[in-house]
Structure 1
Amino acid sequence: MANLSPAPAQPAAAAPHAAAPHAAAPHAAAPHAAAPAAQHATTAQAGHATTGHATAQAGHAAAGHAAAGTSAAGAAGAGVGATATAGLLGGKALLITLAVLLAGAGAVTWSVSSGGGGGGGKDGSNGTAVGGGKALREPFDQAVQALAAAPGVRYQGDWNVEEYLNDVTVTPHGEKYGTSHLTGRTMESDTNSQDLLSIGGKDYSRWHASDLDLRLWTYDGLGDRTADGGSRLTQEMSLYETPADLAKRFSAALADRPRLPSAKAPETTDVNGVPALRADTTSGYLYVSRDAPYRFLRWEPPSAMNFHLPKDGQLSRAMEANSPLWETSSVDLSTVAPAEVGAMYDGLEKYAKDLRTARYGSLDFDKSGDSGVNCDAAGCHVRETVTAKILQGDTVVRKLSQVNVQLTVGKLSIDGRPAGSCSSGPQPLPVTGSGITGTLTCDDPSSAAVYQQVAAESQSRANAVGSNTYWDRAEDITIVALVLTASEVDQLLATVRQERSAAH
């Protein structure tokens, strides 16, 4: 099973830029000579350390969720992008009877052979009744129709072979949002619980934390890798289909020789307190409400954890059809009612608004020597030349022509006095080969007033004692690669609002 690292603690602030001191020259010896202005010495770098806040990577490792980021015990002094991706304790392997071997995730199929078919009659298209007689099919057909027309569908079930509990809602247009936490925990008690979001063709995850420095959407996280370089999170989110697509899946399964309850005396089971009918299909076991209005209550896809030994010499329809194994053993289903449409889109929009700070989880920027801070009569100016290596298996970034990178300086000071802050805004840097390199600058014109005051005081001291120096400093520096521009986020939100209006 996956070994989850604890959520990262907030790291210590980065060492600041410190320019060479301003040198104030005294008055000249000749009488009535004008005092020269305080002169800047050549700018130097005073230990530009790694940048400030570490970026929390909410990723998914090869065997499920991987809590990225530094551990709570060892986070002090961590730099930007300092992450520790959870590994795999011995991998995940389950040996099932009838020669079924599940090793990791993927399109593994049942390794069994069936001695008999699953149909009845000449073609079995209408299915057979368990125990013989006429099959009860109408509730399942009506449930398919209701699902196809639903304004949304909610999935609640396990993921990664019962290790996590996911709660995900999907709109008719394919946007998805929800939460995930360890089985046996809650979103509050699991320190590694995560929020999940799929929108605009990208899948994001983030820590479900109150700390805003950790509660940041991450795309393409360090731990989000399959063996072939694909996205583990995307693989996970692909389980959650739109209402129409899920209805098509179930319709096809119900057309492929299902085993249905007997119309005369249908056997029922309990699903969360609701009497239910069960169909054995090539997509697994489908449960619908016994009473009208008929609706799907639960889906048990074929997986190693819900393996059933043959009854009366018959394998399940999924085993007979060699259906691929899923990484979920049971998913409770509920359609979004018309009165709940507004709340569904409220939740989606709330998640999507935070995408303005979404970042690439696999990029960690380092500074070069050509970096520094300088303040003058026009304000303070910060320059950073940065480089990031692209990981060999990072197929997402390697396909890009450029990445938007933003420099933010949280604190500027002159001679220890607060002088403001600055941000470069997202700036496109080219993706070339195996790296990203470029120069970012930001300015704060409001720092000019502080500079002029400090410079005047320094000149006065220099006149009195012969010389004086003071420092410009830039602190609380972050450099991040942003996934979306503000306009792109606004467009996503506009699309969500249009879909919401059309749904009413």
Structure 2
Amino acid sequence: MAPANSNPWRSRGPLTLAAASAVLALGTAGCAIDLSDWRPGGGGEASPSPTPIDAAPLVESALDGLAEAPAVQVQGQIADSSGQPRDTTFTVTDTGAASGTVQVDESEAKVMEVDDKLFVSADDSYWLSQSVFNPDSDSYPDHWVRVAPDLLGIDPQAVLTPADLAEILRAQAPEQGEAVEENLDGTPAYRVDLSGGQIWISKDEPHRLLRMQIEELAPADGEGVSTRTALNFTEPAGEDITALYDEMDAFAEDELSSARDSRIEIQWDGELSLDCQTGGACTVSGTAKDVSDGSSSGSIQVRMDATMNNEELGDKECEDSAKLEAGGSADLSCSVDYALEASTSPQSYEISGNGVLSTRAVTGDGVDEVVKSLEEQRETTTQNAEGGAEQSPEAESSPSGN
């Protein structure tokens, strides 16, 4: 099992948790939390009589509720791949579908994760700030681009899906710890110290996770990227979940087929070959290879768009695509035919050609598979949301005994 890829914390400034907006219903206007200290109780003011209570049943209740949630909304900060704190918002459903934004300097990167595939849409300044080099990098500002999670510093599907996040937090929860009552920006809450951070849980029932500050938030299996986080939580309304899936459906149907893939750095291996036969049949061939630093994994789709030209005969185009595995190469070849008629006075034509190498995130039937997967995910989340709404609002007895 590969260890989690930790993002080092740099001394570029503290990771702070901005006040939650009204949509988060946390009443946090005008407040920020400085995580540079990570001191106990740093997330709120102690109550006048903060008598600790047993944390275990409180945490169990809150995380049980989180695990069963149809979706969560988070707002706060994460550390990116260089350790820089970034303002972040995400909505993540129980199936792992995610949509949100990450602020990078003056650029806001839109983020979407569908069918376990992570995509970013951002302007030119964002991509210039990233260490991403491919033959089609210049086109990234005009397309959605599939990225590796370590580029963003977080994989929402792996660590923010409600059930997965509940499992991650359970593993850090104390067996015999205490929960201390605090005033969390005007909301009565209990703070619980974890082995790798802190969480805040609502005092009122049903007990819900309100905030977390985690030093290294990593997938439960230990594989993948980990990041330092400071996030506020709320459960989105049904119409918000519907809007999220509507947005994803539009993305899959309108944008996915042209989306690029930055996860493996590629280039041509040597020169292209152009071969023309008597009669005007011409073939252009080339080999694309992985030229990344060896840390890449998986595979991407590579594409060659070739153009053959003669001033008298005109231009003809063809294209070819292939799968390129990390560390490997892929052969690409396509042909055109000028269909020259036989003649008793043969004439020679000079044909020139070129091939443009690019990437594609999803091709062919893959787009239809993503659309179908989204339909199934929407149905699952909708059923979960409807089931939760049918439950009795009466809470069980409080773990605090109140």
TM-score (norm 1): 0.51
Candidates 180, 187, 193, aligned match of 1:275: 187
* 1:214 matched residue in structure 2: 141
- 1:363 and 2:265 matched: yes
1:56-455 matches, cutoff 5 A: 92=10, 131=49, 133=51, 135=53, 143-160=62-79, 163-182=85-104, 185=106, 190=107, 193-208=108-123, 213-218=140-145, 232-233=150-151, 236-237=154-155, 240-250=159-169, 253=173, 256-261=176-181, 267-270=182-185, 275-282=187-194, 283-289=196-202, 294-302=207-215, 327-352=227-252, 354-356=255-257, 357-366=259-268, 368-369=270-271, 371-372=273-274, 374=276, 381-396=282-297, 404-409=301-306, 411-415=307-311, 418-424=314-320, 426-428=321-323, 435-436=328-329, 438-443=331-336
SS in structure 2 opposite 1:485?
coil
Deviation string, structure 1 residues 254-293 (Cα, Å, up to 9, x no partner): 75413221xxxxx4231xxx62414132153323455566
SS in structure 2 opposite 1:301?
strand
Determine the C-alpha separation between the residues in 1 that align with 2:152 and 2:364: 24
Q: CA deviation at 1:500?
A: 0.8
Code of the aligned partner of 1:259: A
* 1:498 matched residue in structure 2: 376
Deviation string, structure 1 residues 395-428 (Cα, Å, up to 9, x no partner): 515xx6xx6432113x55431675343212x235
TM-score (norm 2): 0.61
Q: How many residues align?
A: 322
User: Retained in 2: the 8 A contact 1:155–1:240?
Assistant: no
Query: Which ranges of structure 1 fall in alignment gaps of 5 or more residues?
Result: 1-60, 65-90, 97-111, 115-128, 222-230, 262-266, 304-325
Compared CA separation, residues 491 and 159, structure 1 to 2 (3 A): same
Determine the C-alpha separation between the residues in 2 that align with 1:474 and 1:498: 45
User: Retained in 2: the 8 A contact 1:404–1:429?
Assistant: yes
Identity %: 17
Determine the C-alpha separation between the residues in 2 that align with 1:376 and 1:279: 80
> Higher strand share goes to which structure?
2
User: Retained in 2: the 8 A contact 1:422–1:442?
Assistant: yes
Compared CA separation, residues 202 and 140, structure 1 to 2 (3 A): same
Q: CA deviation at 1:497?
A: 0.8
Determine the C-alpha separation between the residues in 2 that align with 1:407 and 1:478: 5
Give the alignment's Cα RMSD to 1 decimal: 4.7
Determine the C-alpha separation between the residues in 1 that align with 2:324 and 2:230: 45
Larger Rg: 1
Q: CA deviation at 1:243?
A: 0.9
User: Retained in 2: the 8 A contact 1:157–1:328?
Assistant: no
Compared CA separation, residues 248 and 131, structure 1 to 2 (3 A): farther
SS in structure 1 opposite 2:304?
strand
Code of the aligned partner of 2:192: D
SS in structure 2 opposite 1:396?
coil
SS in structure 2 opposite 1:328?
strand
Determine the C-alpha separation between the residues in 2 that align with 1:328 and 1:233: 14
Deviation string, structure 1 residues 171-196 (Cα, Å, up to 9, x no partner): 2122334321226x4xxxx2xx4343
SS in structure 2 opposite 1:196?
strand
Determine the C-alpha separation between the residues in 2 that align with 1:244 and 1:295: 14
* 2:351 matched residue in structure 1: 472
User: Retained in 2: the 8 A contact 1:268–1:290?
Assistant: no
SS in structure 1 opposite 2:159?
coil
Compared CA separation, residues 232 and 130, structure 1 to 2 (3 A): farther
SS in structure 1 opposite 2:160?
coil
SS in structure 2 opposite 1:330?
strand
Determine the C-alpha separation between the residues in 1 that align with 2:170 and 2:264: 40
User: Retained in 2: the 8 A contact 1:412–1:421?
Assistant: yes
SS in structure 2 opposite 1:173?
coil
User: Retained in 2: the 8 A contact 1:375–1:472?
Assistant: no
SS in structure 1 opposite 2:376?
helix
Query: Which ranges of structure 2 fall in alignment gaps of 5 or more residues?
Result: 15-37, 41-46, 126-137, 217-225, 383-402
Compared CA separation, residues 251 and 427, structure 1 to 2 (3 A): closer
Code of the aligned partner of 1:386: T
User: Retained in 1: the 8 A contact 2:322–2:332?
Assistant: no
Q: CA deviation at 1:478?
A: 1.8
Code of the aligned partner of 2:241: V
